[in-house]
Amino acid sequence: MNTEKFLKQVAYLAPAPASLPGSQPPDCYYSKFDGSYVVMVGMESDVSYLADREITEELTHGVGFSPRDGKWYGWSHRAAYGFKIGSTCSKGDCHYRAKNETDEIEAAARFWSGDGHVDVKAEKIKDGLLRVSWTYDDTTPNKKLRGMTSGADWWYDPDNFGRGEWMAETMADAKQMARDFNAGVL
């Protein structure tokens, strides 16, 4: 489906919210399903992947259904992926959400491991906050960082864990995977 036809089917045009005094932002397309932002006028090519996949049902900002594919899609400006019955979620996937605090600590350490980081450790500082630390290895491009220890804080919601590893058994499960994917690739 071409992008123009797609946008006519799923969105309406309206003025963009005023962002800066004196500026006139271009109009935007908003979802007919829930009024969420789809794309700014002049940037329509940014949603051509939605049109190509015919994601025309329950289109929200980052999640929608394609009747053609029979899949729920999640996306952001970084990536898009479709889910159906039988889709799986494993540790390391963009849509993986830890099932408990221990799993969250492991996920934080796994996220920071590799790519020049060694001796990665994650520890709970307080509810909702982990501290992750690592040492830069000898492959780190910035030679001044090699051998140095650094770290980052990892925030999580202790009252809102996910399912861990699981398989979509219903289309509602597939939709949840798409939502989790959207949240994971923001």
Average pLDDT of every residue of the chain: 94
b/e per residue 58-83 (b: at least 16 CB within 10 A): ebbebbbbbeeeebbbbbeeeebbbb
pLDDT per position as a tens digit, 58-110: 999 999 999 999 999 999 988 999 999 999 999 999 999 999 999 999 999 99
What's the rounded Cα separation, in Å, for the pair 53 and 8?
15
Q: What percent of the chain has pLDDT over 90?
A: 90
pLDDT at 40: 93
The dihedral formed by the CA atoms of 44, 47, 50 and 54, expressed in degrees to the nearest 10: 0
pLDDT per position as a tens digit, 21-49: 667 788 999 999 999 999 999 999 999 99
Confidence of residue 20 (pLDDT cuts 50, 70, 90): low
pLDDT per position as a tens digit, 148-175: 999 999 999 999 999 999 999 999 999 9
